[in-house]
Amino acid sequence: MIPFAIGVDLGGTNLRVAAVDTNGKILEKMTLGTEVTRGRDRVIHEMCSVIQGLAIKYRSSTGHLAGIGIGVPGIIEMQTGMVRESPNLPGWQDYPVRQDIEQRLGTNVVLENDANAAALGEKWLGAASNVDDMCMITLGTVVRGGIVLQGRIWHGMTGMAGELGHITADPNGPPCGCGNQGCLEQFASATAVKRMAVEAMAMGKAPELARAMDEDPEFSSKVVYQMAVQGDEPAREIFATVGKALGAVIADLVNIFNLPMYVIGGGVSLAWEAFAPALLQEVRKNSFVYRATAPVQATQGVQGTPIHDDALPARRSTIITRALLGSDAGLLGAARLPMIARDVKLPEQELRRA
Ligand SMILES: [Zn+2]
């Protein structure tokens, strides 16, 4: 009998719940529309009934329930389990979410920022499974981040650490919703890719992109990527800008942390080939720590997958690579939360009993 946990990835449009065993095998995965417009209580009620259903089903067939982890798209105050800010979940702000869920389920749950959960998922079963320390940057409609040190999420003082999307990539860049100017998010999010395409069109610099936009009412960053792959120069320049901004920020992270791995995930990371050369070039230019630790292959340009060179065990390299788990990263990471929380709690409980 292998213990299992239940992970929840609460997105703005989807609520996904999975039963995952402690080896990382997904036993069952369910996707529900979140329908945030129907209100917070309704969403929490639906989430709890799905959790209860899965818990009962697999408790009898698989083994004991190791716990419940929930990834929430917002800033979580770890001590209180309150959601402090969540633009995607109106009405959840300053609400004791963890306490409410624990009361409904009659058991402890671990609440976590969903970007942190995604980083933990990639650390557990994805691109970073061979390292203890890593950070992940998720490029979606916004840019998020998570830092994992010694296999655990690094929370900072209150749980707000790792907001890597709001590190300044260019102090003269566009204003950001956070109040800063030139944040990474303003260059490397799907929203930013589309904005840069519209700006290039407005200046008359991107005739092919303008044609694509006329033809496609749902013109998005994906179309810009397809055009870049086809060799359209303005589209290629946009992704070079994405790569340069990512490179500037990752160079800082390399200089600060000297971690073995930096993982790029999220929808925009599918355009890896289009932005990775500029990214690696910028990191190499800006970070002497990277230059001293870059894998040999990275000097030749694009670096796709982690490099594990068994012939050179003494050589420790800085790997910058793309995520492997796609949208399951957050779900698997959420399921992992109670498993590692339990590792910590057990000795404490033993101590208290003694
Ligand atoms: Zn910002």
Q: What is the pLDDT of residues 171-205, one digit of tens each?
A: 999 999 999 999 999 999 999 999 999 999 999 99
User: How far does residue 73's CA lie from ligand 1's centre (Å)?
Assistant: 16
What are the backbone dihedrals phi and psi of residue 145, each rounded to the nearest 5 degrees, phi first?
Answer: -155, 165
Closest CA to 166 of 155, 154, 152, 177: 177
Report the separation in Å between the CA atom of 87 and the middle of ligand 1, taken as the mean of its atom positions: 14
Per-residue pLDDT at 106 exceeds 80: yes
pLDDT over 70 (residue 306): no
168 C-alpha to ligand 1 centroid (Å)? 8
**Ligand 1 centre from 283 Cα, in Å?**
21
**Cβ atoms of residues 209 and 220 within 8 Å:** no
Beta carbons of 279 and 248 less than 8 angstroms apart: no
Q: What is the mean pLDDT of residues 25-32?
A: 94
Cβ–Cβ under 8 Å, residues 165 and 153? no
Distance CA 135, CA 321 (A): 11
Stretch 302-323: mean pLDDT: 65
Over residues 110-122, mean pLDDT: 96
Q: What is the mean pLDDT of residues 164-170?
A: 97
For residue 167, report the distance from its CA to the centre of ligand 1, in Å. 7
pLDDT beyond 90 at 90:
no
Q: Is the pLDDT of residue 344 over 60?
A: no
3-class DSSP state of 174: coil
CA of 209 to the centre of ligand 1 (A): 27
Mean pLDDT of the chain: 89
Dist CA 68 CA 155 (whole Å): 19
Q: Say how many Å lie between the CA of residue 226 and the centre of ligand 1.
A: 27
Amino acid at the residue 319: I
Q: pLDDT-based confidence at 85, cuts 50/70/90?
A: confident
Cα-to-centroid distance, 249 and ligand 1 (Å): 13
Residue 161 CA to ligand 1 center (angstroms) comes to 14
Tokens (6 digits) for 161:
């650490």
- Do residues 134 and 122 touch, judged by C-beta distance below 8 A? yes
Q: What's the CA-to-centroid distance between 229 and ligand 1, angstroms? A: 29
CA 112 to centroid of ligand 1, rounded, Å: 21
CA atoms of 168 and 184, how far apart (whole Å): 6
As a whole number of angstroms, the distance between CA 39 and CA 41 comes to: 6
| Residue 297: predicted pLDDT | 62
Taking the centre of ligand 1 as the mean of its atom positions, its distance from the CA of residue 10, in whole angstroms, is 23
Say how many Å lie between the CA of residue 182 and the centre of ligand 1. Answer: 7
Tokens of 289: 């720590």
Q: Using the predicted structure, report yes or no on whether residue 301 has a pLDDT greater than 60.
A: no
Q: How confident is the model at residue 299 (pLDDT cuts 50, 70, 90)?
A: very low
pLDDT digit string (tens) for 243-254? 999 999 999 999
Beta strands (DSSP E) in the chain are 4-10, 14-21, 26-33, 65-72, 75-77, 82-85, 110-113, 134-139, 143-149, 152-153, 261-265, 319-322
Nearest CA to 47 among 88, 142, 38? Answer: 38
Ligand 1 centroid–CA 178 distance in Å is: 4
Query: How many whole angstroms from 189 Cα to the centroid of ligand 1?
Result: 11
**Which residues, in sequence order, are bridge partners of residue 42?**
none
188 Cα: distance to centroid of ligand 1 (angstroms): 12
From ligand 1's centre to the CA of 268, what distance in Å? 18
Would you say 236 and 204 are in contact if contact means Cβ atoms under 8 Å apart? no
Q: How much is the pLDDT for 342?
A: 52
Q: How far is the CA of 341 from the centre of ligand 1 (A)?
A: 31
Ligand 1 centre to CA of 142 (Å) is 10
pLDDT of 312 > 90? The answer is no
pLDDT tens string 33-42: 767 677 889 9
Give the mean pLDDT of 116-136.
97
Please check the confidence at residue 135 and state whether its pLDDT lies above 50. Answer: yes
Highest mean pLDDT, choosing among 2-16, 45-59, 301-315, 337-351: 45-59
pLDDT tier for residue 352 given thresholds of 50, 70 and 90: very low
Three-state DSSP state, 126: coil
State which amino acid sits at residue 242. Answer: V
Q: For residue 263, give the nearest of 70, 151, 120, 142 by alpha carbon.
A: 120
Q: Which of 102-111, 152-161, 246-255, 336-345 comes out lowest in average pLDDT?
A: 336-345
Taking each helix axis from N to C terminus, what angle separates 190-202 and 221-229, rounded to the nearest 10 degrees? Answer: 70
For strand 152-153 and strand 143-149, is the pairing parallel, antiparallel, or unpaired?
A: antiparallel
Residue 148 has pLDDT above 70, yes or no: yes
User: 322: left (phi > 0), else alpha (psi -120 to 50), else beta?
Assistant: beta
What average pLDDT does the segment 141-148 reach?
96
Asked whether residue 307 carries a pLDDT value surpassing 50, the answer given is no
Give the distance (Å) from ligand 1 centre to CA of residue 179: 6
Report how far ligand 1's centroid is from the alpha carbon of 109 (Å).
30
Separation of 83 CA from ligand 1 center, angstroms? Answer: 19
For residue 151, how many other CB atoms are within 10 A of its CB? Answer: 16
Q: Cα of 175 to ligand 1 centre, how many Å?
A: 8
Q: In angstroms, what is the span from residue 346 Cα to ligand 1's centroid? A: 39
**pLDDT given for residue 250 in this prediction:** 98
Give the mean model confidence (pLDDT) for residues 297-323.
62
**CA–centroid distance, residue 245 to ligand 1 (Å):** 13
Neighbours of 348 (CB within 10 A): 9
Q: Please tell me the distance between residue 185's alpha carbon and the centre of ligand 1 in angstroms.
A: 6
Q: How far is the CA of 244 from the centre of ligand 1 (A)?
A: 17
Q: Which two tokens stand for residue 35?
A: 């329908």
